[in-house]
Structure 1
Amino acid sequence: STLLKSLVGLLPPTSGQVLFRGQNIAGMGAPDIARLGIGYVPQGRGLFAGMTVAENLALGRLARPTDGRTGVVWSEEKILEYFPRLKARMHVAADYLSGGEQQMVAVARALRGNVRLLLLDEPFEGLAPSVVQELFSVFDRLRAEIAIVIVEHNLDLVLALSDRVYALERGAVFHEGPARDLLEDLDYRKKILWL
């Protein structure tokens, strides 16, 4: 969570730079970082409960240009291709949605502008297994269009979705490499991750 908050300008990094497309974004405000094409889904979803799905999605568009300069243009139609379940829920208040539907809205809202990079903080936390599988499939399709950074404690899920893995402890990277190695070789996983 701290890493992602630093990447999106909610917490200042304690040292170093945060480079995005060759530009140091450390110290920039969260709205300016969002305008560069970075979408963020916080742990706990961060939806506006009294607002409808459509209103929550509209908020995601406010922070970013929608002309294609900063990434993929995520129109409502394109988003609903990934989350068809939300079509029938557009005029329902977010607090009346299931946890899985709320997570879908949070991801859809983050995508709503032109996103090149999607940051997901514990996206599977507290969700039913069927919803986890549904979101896993969506993220697997999404990664063909945009870069995704996932902070997640469910190692098997994140390894199956990832091309590369960075393992951190106390704010420092202690392992970096292809996800496939950790996914397929359990002895290697135990050695690297001290399991």
Structure 2
Amino acid sequence: MFESISLKAVYQSIGYISLPVLCIALIVGWKSINTRSLMTLLLVVEAVDTAMVDTAYGWRNGYYIWIFLYSLLYIYVVLARRLIVKKLSNISSFCKDVYENYYFSKQEGALLFVYILHVFVCFIALFEVQFFQHYVIDTFPYVLHVFSPLLTLLCLAEALLVLKLATRTVPVDEHVMALKACRKAEKKRLKNIAHKDKH
């Protein structure tokens, strides 16, 4: 009894590390606009997920439908990040820079793989719960004994990949920094011209 309670507490604690890890990754990888954009989008998705977890857990079997559908959103963010920033590029120069200098890294590929595994793990749990609800099976051993440990391992893998992604050096961002420097110089030049015209 005590052992199962302890394990449950460990699983829950590790389940909540994604949000602080993403915050750390955002700070560490701030200079990289590609990393910053991905971490920001993942932070928004993770914040909603964390805020909803207690509510969704109260839905009983509906919880498994929620986590399965919501886990697809993480895949969408990684795969469709360029489309997302393209839609926002008209209102944000940052998004425009990300769109023009977008690239897909190996770490993002590994992160995508972890999210696909997460969807697969949730899909199996969802089916087992549905089978139990429709009296096809008498118990759900996967949900009781395998589901939480697998999610915990995937959560740890996500945390490691996110931190790896944030700490890597990205040559393309040097171009972005040069672009920003040119913009600053151009603004300064125009300001000087305007100042001379007044006098």
What TM-score do you get using the length of structure 2 for normalisation? 0.22
Structure number with bigger Rg: 2
- Give the structure with the higher percent strand: 1
Q: Which structure ranks higher in relative contact order (CA pairs < 8 Å, sequence separation ≥ 6)?
A: 2
